[in-house]
A and B are shown apart, each in its own frame.
Chain A
Amino acid sequence: MARLLDIKTLVIEARTMTGDWTRIVDEVDAYVDAGEVLGLIGESGAGKSTIGLACLAYAKPGARFGGGEILLDGENVIALDGEGRRRLRGPRVSYVAQSAAASFNPAMTLYDQVCEAPVRHGMMRFDEARRRAADMFRRLQLPDPERFGERYPHQVSGGQLQRAMAAMAMSCRPSLIVFDEPTTALDVTTQIEVLGAIKELIRDFGTAAVYISHDLAVVAQIADRIQVLRHGRTVEMGTAGQVLEAPRMAYTRELVTARKEHPKAETPVKAEAPLLEVRGVIARYGGNAANVLEDVSLKLGRGRTVAVVGESGSGKSTLARVITGLLPPIKGDVLVDGTALPPRTSKRTRAMLKRVQMIYQMPDVALNPRQSVAEAIGRPLKLYLGMEGEARRQRLNELMDHIGLDRSFVTRYPSELSGGQKQRVCIARALAAEPDVIICDEVTSALDPLIAEGILQLLQGLQDELGLAYVFITHDLAIVWNIADEVVVMKNGRVVESGPKREIFAPPHDPYTELLLSSAPEMRTDWLDELLEQRRAKGLAAAQ
């Protein structure tokens, strides 16, 4: 079969702060045959998006092509002039970005945007393009496909918008589509819908695709072949089955095992009063707004982990704000060791604040960029424990050992640390207070899989050693299985189901828990097909 896309020793360089050029894509070879899907996988900085954009003959500002060629039907797209590139983008290669919400023009209807490319390229008239767009919307199982395109981007949901973007990419019937993490920003249940729709679309039209993701399980559902990248170089490539079942390189093996289940050993529930208890909390933002939390209760024993699970908008982060006192509830109490805390943070004593600490999702904004590691971790030592001078320096070193960072890092500023290192510093800052409970709000979702795995292991180790209790807020059920003792499933501000992990994970399930559980991608190539088949059989339509 003829090569549709053939990337030969591609080099792309980026300008560094000092003005030199450094290689961010370093002599990468890749190919896609007609009708084939190539999965590009790797952590952030692996160069996968850069390669994806290069297929459209585009290099981001501050980057340039440094060598090699990208042949599309035998024609080197890098060498094209402006007009040649214009003819390339849309009719021959198109692009689906990670954030559809940021990619659509909020002031134009979806029809206007989906039909723009074929009309501009002189391929058809607007009404013809519109008819074909409606057909595409129908294939993508969008509601009311005829009228759907008359809406504006803010009038449809995130998952629908992402599918509309796939329709836009298909509008000129290109021979290749580049999908750049199209489901990463979506909830697990929505991810399934979009993934299923994309898979059917490219199968029906026989379109070739480059599918970029950091999630091996997601890529495995859609790609024929997988190419693993790291630091701008190819680590390994093979068919999806090969990479998943028999990875050859150590790095790929780590990626595969990080996603596999290794459940936390079960510890018996001790018959003692709960350390942290949330009792019948009702909360809302603003006086007359709808309730965001509706009668939510939760119990957490000493040295145990309760996972709060739910989709975005389920109220799980709001629950954290209520526990910490940032959002005083309208009704209900937060109790530590049986005594109710004042609802508002500012009314709580330092001794109360010390016992409940928090770790955030984005370590970048959770650390003050103008404070060194020593200042960030040293502050709670002084504030809560009155440590100064030598005692504080010693404790600081101990904490650095705890989180597995070199002691010399204490003089660094956040901008000199990687994402995982920053998150470790945030953990140390929470530990410094010597708390009983740490609230972890999506602490791994902004990190690469291997880094995230390291953070989870660190948290688990600290729990075993120091007897900490965690409220672990997450949308990722694979993590829950590995770290939780108890699980609380939330939906629309209500607790759907709660109890020990084994009970929640074993049937019979609440229907919503069932949906969540079945939506978490598994490390097999046929998982998505099986799931969609099952749901169809059950009459549980994928598009809800």
Chain B
Amino acid sequence: MGAYFRDMPLSAVAGLVIVAVNVLVAVFGPVIAPYAESYQVSLQPWSPPSAEAWLGTDNLGRDMLTRMLYGAQTTLGIAFIATVLSFAVGIAFGFAAGTLGGAVDQVLSRIVDVFMAIPSLILSLLLLSILGTGVPVIISVIAVVDATRVFRISRALAMNLSVMEFVEAARLRGEGLTWVLGREILPNALPPLVAEFGLRFCFVILFVSSLSFLGLGIQPPYADWGGMVRDNAQAINFAAYDPLIAIAPLAPAVAIATLTVGINLLADWMLAKQNRTVGGQEA
């Protein structure tokens, strides 16, 4: 493991630090938060930073810092579970389609084509407005929509790997599909999938935030970063009188942006590293 992180460029270190801080905040946020999630510190909306509320208050007079800490857990938690689910579903079907081919591949691929033909945001909005906006529903909808992308990559990887002679050798040995997929193909497909996981995770965070911003995501009173941007957007109008008021909409926006950049830096490095090792093996 130590060897894996050797020669890490500065950008990747920055990415790693950003991601680590966000994960810590998501896990321990509620513990270190000064107030309860929806406790109103003041009756005045958008009060500037003070000793009671370090980042000021939001549109309902709740402490911004507290909301940010709780929001981290919601946003990252939902995004993580949704991404894991989308990878589980996408890899399972993608590998099946890529390895078995024929009718299985045709049916699965055409279904995915239909899903991918509809813009993902429109599709999600449609599904959420029909199914309601509970957290499990949001997670499932994002997982299904995102799984189509994972399916494509997994299918391509499995198609390339399943014609390799070591996979053929496993078939000749009489191994079942589970062994072939799990032991022969998956370990060799893992590096590109891990890098892809980082990128998709950050798309999902943006996606959850977009949904919340449009009002179909996490419902009040629970905090999440995208929703907080929407709720406090109007405070920008008052920033002309006191620039510090702009912290309310900007803090969650900056948090989303930093995390996205951080994950991208880390994923870029992992992808580059993987390309280097593959090139080295083939040379």
> Which residues of A does B touch, CB under 8 Å?
17, 324-326, 345-346, 348, 350, 353, 357-358, 360, 362, 365-371, 379-380, 383, 415, 429, 433
Contact in complex: A370, B188 (CB < 8 Å): yes
Residues in A whose Cβ lies below 8 Å from that of B119: none
Q: Which of B120-128, B136-144, B166-174 contacts A (4 or more CB under 8 A)?
A: B166-174
Interface size class of B (residues with CB under 8 A): 10 to 19
Chain B contacts with A in 225-272, Cβ cutoff 8 A:
none
Contact in complex: A369, B172 (CB < 8 Å): no
List 5 interface pairs A-B (beta carbons < 8 Å), by A numbering: A345-B172, A348-B174, A368-B188, A370-B187, A433-B173
Count of CB-CB pairs between chains A and B under 8 Å: 48
* Complex: chain B residue closest to A370, CB-CB: B187
Q: List 6 extra interface pairs beyond A353-B174, A368-B170, A371-B187, CB under 8 A.
A: A326-B172, A360-B165, A368-B184, A370-B187, A383-B173, A429-B169
Residues in B whose Cβ lies below 8 Å from that of A360: 165, 169
A17-B280, A415-B281 known; A366 and B175 CB under 8 Å? no
In whole Å, how far is A385's beta carbon from the nearest beta carbon of chain B? 12
Residues in B whose Cβ lies below 8 Å from that of A369: 188, 281
Contact in complex: B171, A345 (CB < 8 Å): yes
Residues in A whose Cβ lies below 8 Å from that of B171: 326, 345-346
* Complex: chain A residue closest to B172, CB-CB: A324
Q: Indicate with 1 or 0, residue by residue over B170-183, a CB within 8 angstroms of chain A CB atoms.
A: 11111100000001
Cross-interface CB contact of B165 among A17, A366, A371, cutoff 8 Å: A366
Cross-interface CB contact of B168 among A326, A379, A383, cutoff 8 Å: A326
The reply to whether the CB of B116 lies closer than 8 angstroms to some CB of chain A is no
The reply to whether the CB of B111 lies closer than 8 angstroms to some CB of chain A is no
In whole Å, how far is A321's beta carbon from the nearest beta carbon of chain B? 9
In whole Å, how far is A421's beta carbon from the nearest beta carbon of chain B? 15
The reply to whether the CB of B164 lies closer than 8 angstroms to some CB of chain A is yes
Contact in complex: B174, A367 (CB < 8 Å): no
* Complex: chain A residue closest to B7, CB-CB: A19
Q: How far is the CA of A227 from the CA of B127 in the complex (A)?
A: 74
A17-B280, A370-B187, A415-B281 known; A365 and B173 CB under 8 Å? no
* Complex: chain B residue closest to A439, CB-CB: B172
Contact in complex: A353, B172 (CB < 8 Å): yes
Contact in complex: B172, A365 (CB < 8 Å): no
Q: How far is the CA of A348 from the CA of B173 in the complex (A)?
A: 10
* Complex: chain A residue closest to B176, CB-CB: A346
Contact in complex: A368, B172 (CB < 8 Å): no
* Complex: chain B residue closest to A368, CB-CB: B166
In whole Å, how far is A267's beta carbon from the nearest beta carbon of chain B? 29
Residues in A whose Cβ lies below 8 Å from that of B280: 17
In whole Å, how far is A412's beta carbon from the nearest beta carbon of chain B? 14
Q: How far is the CA of A415 from the CA of B277 in the complex (A)?
A: 11
In whole Å, how far is B188's beta carbon from the nearest beta carbon of chain A? 6
Q: How far is the CA of A415 from the CA of B188 in the complex (A)?
A: 13
* Complex: chain A residue closest to B190, CB-CB: A370
* Complex: chain A residue closest to B276, CB-CB: A17
Residues in B whose Cβ lies below 8 Å from that of A367: 166
In whole Å, how far is B115's beta carbon from the nearest beta carbon of chain A? 31
Contact in complex: A362, B165 (CB < 8 Å): yes
Q: How far is the CA of A376 from the CA of B77 in the complex (A)?
A: 39
